[in-house]
Amino acid sequence: MSYQSVFKPGLFAGKVIVVTGGGSGIGRCTAHELAALGAHVVLIGRKLEKLQDVATEIALDGVGHVGHVSFHACDIRQEDAVRSTVAAIVLAHGRIDALVNNAGGQYMTPLEAISAKGWQAVVDTNLTGGFLMARECYLQGMQQHGGAIVNTVADIWGSMPGMGHSGAARAGMVSFTETAALEWAKSGVRVNAVAPGYIASSGMDQYPAEAGAMLREMQATVPLGRFGNEAETSAAIVFLLSPAAAFISGSVLRVDGARPQVRMGWGPVAAPADVQQRDAVKPFDGFHRYQMPKVLQT
């Protein structure tokens, strides 16, 4: 089997696209789709073994037609590491055409229990690291020949209770997206963001076991009545990187089934199961290697 993208084959042929957080979840899925569309994908992450696993998957899937991939272990929170990693990518490939700023992470805790160290760690991962990657890709490559950046943020509309550090960082990344879109337009660089809502991705399995019941119930609060999946998020990212989005910059594309529109007192909002299978809203399952999070299999 191969990735079932809705985009035309060869869309990114000859392009070098960097994907941070490429070792799992949405990053892994996006890397697969971009490679299937002809890009040379450069995976970035902290754990080398996870990057190697994804690179092996892509290579196996691409035998005979696509599957160009390389990888670098890098802690995007470290300025010198980011600068040297981007330099190595440019040296190896001569250019960087696009960046998917996907790396991120957080943990559940109320605001009053967050230490300064914990707050800083989440902000560094979800905001500072993304800024550093974007800045270096711009300075070392895109400033000279243009490019496209897509930042992964989150469903911050209505706040993020229980994860206030992440909400603050993601909101900062939205502001950064808008500012970079303005400042870097002079170089032919577009900067946008994708905001996933409740996505059934491997990240769900990183939360403590006691959060399982809450996670499984979240889909009942989504007007479309279900979780989104990785392929639906990847498709949004790929669109924003594509030539079809040439006049889109400084925007945030939500992938959330209208969840932020829900307000207290409206009663049940989720679409019934039969409606969820109507053509316009039924799940798009393009990723042939998708794995349901274990917490949702219970």
Q: Work out the mean pLDDT of the chain and round it to a whole number.
A: 93
Q: Sheet containing 69-73: which strands, arranged edge to edge?
A: 69-73, 40-45, 16-20, 98-101, 147-152, 189-196, 252-255
Task: Select from 96, 139, 124, 126 the least CA-distant residue to 193.
Answer: 126
pTM, to two decimals: 0.94
CA terminus-to-terminus distance, the chain: 27
User: Cα–Cα distance between 21 and 65 in angstroms, integer?
Assistant: 25
Determine the pLDDT at residue 66.
53
User: Rounded mean pLDDT of 162-175?
Assistant: 94
Distances (CA, A) of 98 to 88, 133, 243, 270: 16, 11, 12, 36
Let me know how many helices (H) and strands (E) the chain has, helices first: 9, 7
- Comparing 213 with 14, the larger pLDDT belongs to 14
User: Cα–Cα distance between 222 and 206 in angstroms, integer?
Assistant: 22
User: Cα–Cα distance between 91 and 87 in angstroms, integer?
Assistant: 6
Burial label for 273, CB within 10 Å (0-12, 13-18, 19+), is exposed
User: Cα–Cα distance between 124 and 76 in angstroms, integer?
Assistant: 9
Q: What percent of the chain has pLDDT over 70?
A: 98
Element (H, E) at 236: helix 230-241
Dig out the tokens for 260 from the structure: 């932020």
- Comparing 182 with 219, the larger pLDDT belongs to 182
pLDDT at 230 over 90: yes
Determine the pLDDT at residue 201.
85
pLDDT at 263 over 50: yes
Tens-digit pLDDT profile for residues 198-226? 999 877 777 777 778 887 888 899 999 99
User: Cα–Cα distance between 12 and 173 in angstroms, integer?
Assistant: 26
Give the pLDDT band (50/70/90) at residue 158. Answer: confident
Determine the pLDDT at residue 62.
78
Tens-digit pLDDT profile for residues 81-135? 999 999 999 999 999 999 999 998 888 899 999 999 999 999 999 999 999 999 9
User: Cα–Cα distance between 195 and 157 in angstroms, integer?
Assistant: 10
Determine the pLDDT at residue 107.
83
Determine the pLDDT at residue 91.
97
**Where does 124-229 have alpha helices with state H?**
129-137, 143-145, 164-183, 212-217
**3-class DSSP state of 43:** strand
Residue 257 contacts residue 228 (beta carbons within 8 Å): yes
- Comparing 275 with 158, the larger pLDDT belongs to 275
Give the pLDDT band (50/70/90) at residue 64. Answer: very low
Give the pLDDT band (50/70/90) at residue 293. Answer: confident
CB < 8 Å & 24+ apart, contacts of 291-294: 291/202, 292/200, 293/200, 293/201, 293/202, 293/203, 293/204, 293/205, 294/205
Which structural domains are found in the chain, ordered by start?
Answer: 16-203+230-259 (3.40.50.720)
User: Cα–Cα distance between 50 and 140 in angstroms, integer?
Assistant: 26
**3-class DSSP state of 154:** coil
pLDDT at 63 over 60: no
Going by their DSSP bridges, the two strands 252-255 and 147-152 should be labelled as: unpaired
